[in-house]
Amino acid sequence: MKISIVQFKSELGAVEKNFYTASRLIEAAKDSDVIILSELWSTGYYPTPVKDFADKDGERTKEFLCDKAKKFNVNIIGGSVIVESDGKIFNRCLVTNRNGEIAATYDKTHLFSFAKEEKVFCAGNKISLVELDGVKCGLAICYDLRFPEFIRKIALAGAEIIFIPAAWSLKRLLPRQILTKARAIENQVFIVFANSSGKSEIINPLGEILAESNRGEEILTAEINLRDRMEIIKTMNFLADRNLAVD
């Protein structure tokens, strides 16, 4: 599976410009199997008042992603966008398959209190998996990475790859680099971390970096071989060896 991370620093509040940039870069990455955008790519992280920038029920974003996916015959993990639904605001990831259909949605579960996200966004309350080209893919957003029990739930549900759009500050780069490797190793999954600030990564189940970006606008691409994961699990299956009898 050929995966491309579309990395660019969105201009805060410049929705039209950000949609244009995303369109240009998606087209440039169209030969991939899966393209992933970063967190809040259409607005930047995050303009205020948030409600003024919310996509009502995600309709504009859905139309955009579905059009690109169908036109280029590619699966798109649509990063995340600000969505208003039933009077509530969510940080929502929309996933589009090759047929131009919405295949899954996910609302950010862990809200970053340091940035007061809980004051403007409603938290999601369930994990989300989607099958793309026969591969089971899990979804998380940025701060979710810091919660191992949450990522473990996604892995236990059968995820082979976990896609994580983010707007992670490079001031906290070192812990993030440790966490992406740890989550990959302990769950024996591929981690695809798409970061608007740069230093995006694609990590294999051994914690090895398959690809890492620089800090500017970039398309980061790597081939993922799912057979490699199965060989690793055959050798040592961490999840099967868990002892659930411990008090």
Residue 161 bridge partners (DSSP): 137, 190
* Model confidence pLDDT, tens digit, residues 46-91: 999 999 999 999 999 999 999 999 999 999 999 999 999 999 999 9
Task: Extract the tokens encoding 115.
Answer: 């940035």
Q: Name the average pLDDT for the chain.
A: 97
Hey, which residues are catalytic here? Answer: 39, 108, 142
Strand pairing class (129-132; 34-36): unpaired
- Report whether pLDDT(247) > 80: no
pLDDT computed for residue 192 by the predictor: 98
The pLDDT confidence band at residue 246, using thresholds 50, 70 and 90, is: confident
- Report whether pLDDT(24) > 80: yes
235 φ/ψ angles, rounded to the nearest 5 degrees: -75, -40
Q: Into which CATH architecture does domain 2-235 fall?
A: 4-Layer Sandwich (3.60)
CB-CB contact of 94 with 108 (8 Å): no
- Report whether pLDDT(118) > 80: yes
pLDDT computed for residue 89 by the predictor: 98
Q: State the average pLDDT over residues 128-139.
A: 98
Gap between the Cα atoms of 2 and 225, Å rounded? 9
Gap between the Cα atoms of 122 and 117, Å rounded? 9
- Report whether pLDDT(219) > 80: yes
Domain boundaries along the sequence of the chain: 2-235
Give how far the C-alpha of residue 227 lies from the chain's centroid of Cα atoms, to the nearest Å: 22
Instruction: Kindly provide the b/e burial profile for residues 127-164, where b requires at least 16 CB atoms within 10 angstroms of the residue's own CB.
Output: bbbbebeebbbbbbbbbbbeeeeebebbbeeebbbbbb
Give whole-number Cα distances, 67 to 76, 83, 234, in Å. Answer: 11, 19, 40
* Model confidence pLDDT, tens digit, residues 167-208: 999 999 999 999 999 999 999 999 999 999 999 999 999 999
- Report whether pLDDT(4) > 80: yes
